């Protein structure tokens, strides 16, 4: 079956949607873990793979791409509204 | 145990993966004679370019680039064709190329009696060089002799998701084998300076990385003015990327994860192994010249929209980011990284690319070579001609 999300680096706490994901659907990550999608997430956008506390690092490519503005729940869409991209050189 | 490849021994200690005899104009005015020689002897590789005169600031850089293309490990011998009155003299290029101890000859069209006599003279030299080069046989060399250039062009939303991370696995493999990878295209590093600095082998290299990327950002503003944000701001990233850093991470991931050991300028050759950053433009054709002049025996070129271009003296291996483009332009693409979107593990695609790199090093032709997509030597310039 075609993959529905892709995790680029093993340390990442976000994945990339490979199709439009619908709120409420349950999908399975490549390693078999289930992931309940809690928002509509467009193709090629980011979805959180775990609960990320406010201020904690969001990691993609194994690198910090920003910090959570507030708590981000597993399965949530991650973008400008909840990701602080102010350059703190971390 | 270190892996090996089948290459051609050069007298300066390097090893080529191809055995070209090149005809190089010292100035664009000599392109016609170079073309006439190449038509008569199609086995010779013409290195057409548009420069060699009329430049102040860039003359030295251009001379270094042309000399380094002549010294390139994939080149067995070089004929430099000059006009006679140009800034970058054929004789000086020949002397510079000769420091690599390979056969090099030159003449000037003005001294030889014009086009027909120059062409006949050049054909004689080239036939002799080709006969000598044909006597050289491949033998085994350790992979630490290999420099692999990295390029991305015609990128799409999946270049940073499929093709580039897969190539990053290949970069890690080659560096772990003692080899070298060259990452360039400064504009595609904007936003990741602190990440690349952290990977520097020492504070001096970190400082050079910081300066190179800051200068690239400034230059983008200076050159593009109000259009700069379209290149460097997060505003146009509705494809799911939240910041410029995230976009650039998708580009620099081609170079894998190993330490950065040196920053070199356009027209320079690395003195270290491992991951090297080359300070150069984002424009593919000029970028590839910097990568070739640094001595890369092969290049990996990832592409989303599909770019068929190769390079005159360097095999270019094309990695497609989506199955759709791969199917549309299959004649031009060597590997389809788009299968990652269908569930193929990235490790598997990385392994496929690694296997193909091994074959290309040993002599198998890339699609760009089969299609004779050599193109011309495009040289970076920042200032106008006088």
C-beta of residue B153 within 8 angstroms of C-beta of residue B333: no
* Least reliable range by pLDDT among A31-35, B3-7, B137-141: A31-35
- What's the CA gap between A40 and B52, in Å, rounded? 57
| H or E segment and range at residue B142 | strand B139-142
- The B-side interface with A (CB below 8 A) comprises 157-158, 161-162, 165, 191-192, 194-195, 234, 239-240, 242-243, 245-246, 249-250, 253, 257, 340-343, 345-346
Over residues B138-165, mean pLDDT: 93
- What's the CA gap between B278 and B61, in Å, rounded? 14
Task: Give the model's confidence band at B157: pLDDT under 50 very low, under 70 low, under 90 confident, else very high.
Answer: confident
B341–A18 CB contact, under 8 Å: yes
Contacts of A18 in chain B (CB under 8 A): 341
* Least reliable range by pLDDT among B53-57, B169-173, B215-219, B237-241: B237-241
pLDDT of residue B236: 52
Greater confidence, B38 or A43?
A: B38
Instruction: Report how far apart the first and last C-alpha atoms of chain B are (Å, whole number).
Output: 55
Average pLDDT, chain A: 91
pLDDT of residue B326: 96
Is the model's pLDDT at A90 over the cut of 70? no
CA distance B257 to chain A (A): 10
Minimal Cβ distance to B161: which of A8, A62, A87: A8
Minimal Cβ distance to B157: which of A3, A44, A46: A44
Over residues B203-207, mean pLDDT: 98
Instruction: Please report, for residues B196, B217, B241, B280, the alpha-carbon distance to residue B199 in angstroms, rounded to integers and kept in the order given.
Output: 5, 20, 23, 19
Class of domain A5-84: mainly beta
A61–B257 CB contact, under 8 Å: no
pLDDT of residue A1: 55
C-beta of residue A8 within 8 angstroms of C-beta of residue B349: no
A66–B234 CB contact, under 8 Å: no
What's B346's DSSP letter? Answer: H
CB pairs under 8 A between A and B: 67
Which tokens is B222 given?
């200076």
pLDDT of residue B33: 98
pLDDT of residue B156: 81
Is the model's pLDDT at A85 over the cut of 90? no
Minimal Cβ distance to A63: which of B162, B195, B239: B195
Give the percent of chain A with pLDDT over 70.
93
CA distance A85 to chain B (A): 7
- What's the CA gap between B333 and B312, in Å, rounded? 18
Q: Which residues contact B34 (CB under 8 A, 6 or more apart)?
A: B23, B24, B25, B46, B47, B48, B81, B122
Domain ranges for chain A: 5-84
pLDDT of residue A2: 66
Helices (H) and strands (E) in chain A, counts: 0, 9
Contacts of A42 in chain B (CB under 8 A): 240
Over residues B302-308, mean pLDDT: 93
Is the model's pLDDT at B233 over the cut of 80? no
Task: Give the model's confidence band at B293: pLDDT under 50 very low, under 70 low, under 90 confident, else very high.
Answer: very high
- What's the CA gap between A10 and A8, in Å, rounded? 7
CA distance A16 to chain B (A): 8
pLDDT tens for B53-70 read: 998 889 999 999 999 999
A3–B342 CB contact, under 8 Å: yes
CA distance B162 to chain A (A): 8
Return the residue of A nearest to B322 by Cα: A18
Contacts of A6 in chain B (CB under 8 A): 161-162, 340-341, 346
Which tokens is B78 given?
């070089």
Over residues B356-362, mean pLDDT: 98
B242–A78 CB contact, under 8 Å: yes
Cα dihedral angle (B175, B178, B179, B184), rounded to 10 degrees? 40
Is the model's pLDDT at B234 over the cut of 80? no
C-beta of residue B201 within 8 angstroms of C-beta of residue B175: no
A1–B343 CB contact, under 8 Å: yes
B343–A85 CB contact, under 8 Å: no
The ipTM estimated for the assembled molecules is 0.90
């Amino acid at each position: 079956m075609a993959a529905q999300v892709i995790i680029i680096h093993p340390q990442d706490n976000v994945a990339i949607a490979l199709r439009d994901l619908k709120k409420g659907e349950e999908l399975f990550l490549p390693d078999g873990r289930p992931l309940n999608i809690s928002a509509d997430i467009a193709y090629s956008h980011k979805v959180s793979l775990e609960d990320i506390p406010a201020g904690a690092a969001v990691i993609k490519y194994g690198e910090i791409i920003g910090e959570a503005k507030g708590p981000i729940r597993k399965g949530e869409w991650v973008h400008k509204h909840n990701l602080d991209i102010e350059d703190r050189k971390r | 145990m270190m892996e090996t490849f089948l290459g051609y021994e050069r007298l300066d200690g390097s090893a080529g993966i191809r055995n070209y005899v090149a005809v190089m104009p010292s100035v664009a005015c000599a392109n016609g004679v170079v073309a006439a020689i190449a038509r008569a002897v199609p086995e010779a590789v013409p290195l057409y370019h548009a420069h060699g005169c009329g430049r102040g600031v860039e003359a030295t850089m251009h001379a270094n680039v042309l000399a380094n293309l002549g010294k390139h490990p994939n080149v067995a011998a070089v004929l430099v064709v000059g006009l006679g009155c140009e800034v970058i003299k054929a004789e000086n290029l020949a002397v510079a190329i000769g420091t690599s101890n390979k056969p090099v000859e030159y003449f000037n069209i003005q001294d030889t009696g014009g086009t027909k006599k120059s062409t006949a003279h050049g054909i004689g030299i080239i036939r002799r060089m080709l006969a000598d080069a044909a006597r050289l046989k491949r033998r085994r060399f350790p992979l630490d002799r290999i420099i692999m250039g990295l390029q991305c062009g015609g990128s799409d939303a999946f270049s940073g998701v499929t093709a580039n991370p897969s190539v990053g696995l290949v970069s890690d493999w080659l560096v772990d084998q003692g080899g070298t990878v060259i990452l360039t295209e400064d504009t595609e590093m904007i936003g990741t300076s602190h990440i690349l600095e952290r990977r520097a082998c020492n504070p001096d290299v970190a400082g050079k990385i910081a300066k190179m990327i800051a200068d690239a950002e400034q230059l983008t503003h200076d050159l593009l003015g109000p259009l700069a944000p379209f290149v460097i701001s997060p505003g146009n990233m509705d494809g799911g990327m939240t910041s410029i850093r995230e976009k650039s991470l998708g580009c620099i991931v081609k170079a894998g994860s190993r330490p950065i050991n040196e920053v070199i300028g356009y027209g320079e050759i690395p003195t270290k192994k491992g991951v090297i950053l080359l300070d150069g433009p984002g424009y593919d054709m000029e970028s590839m010249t910097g990568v070739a002049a640094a001595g890369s025996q092969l290049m990996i070129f990832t592409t989303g929209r599909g770019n068929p271009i190769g390079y005159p003296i360097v095999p270019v291996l094309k990695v497609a980011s989506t199955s759709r483009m791969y199917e549309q332009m299959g004649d031009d693409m060597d590997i389809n990284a788009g299968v990652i979107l269908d569930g193929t593990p990235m490790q598997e695609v990385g392994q496929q690319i690694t296997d193909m790199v091994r074959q290309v090093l040993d002599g198998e032709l890339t699609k760009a070579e089969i299609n004779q997509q050599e193109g011309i030597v495009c040289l970076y310039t920042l200032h106008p001609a006088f």
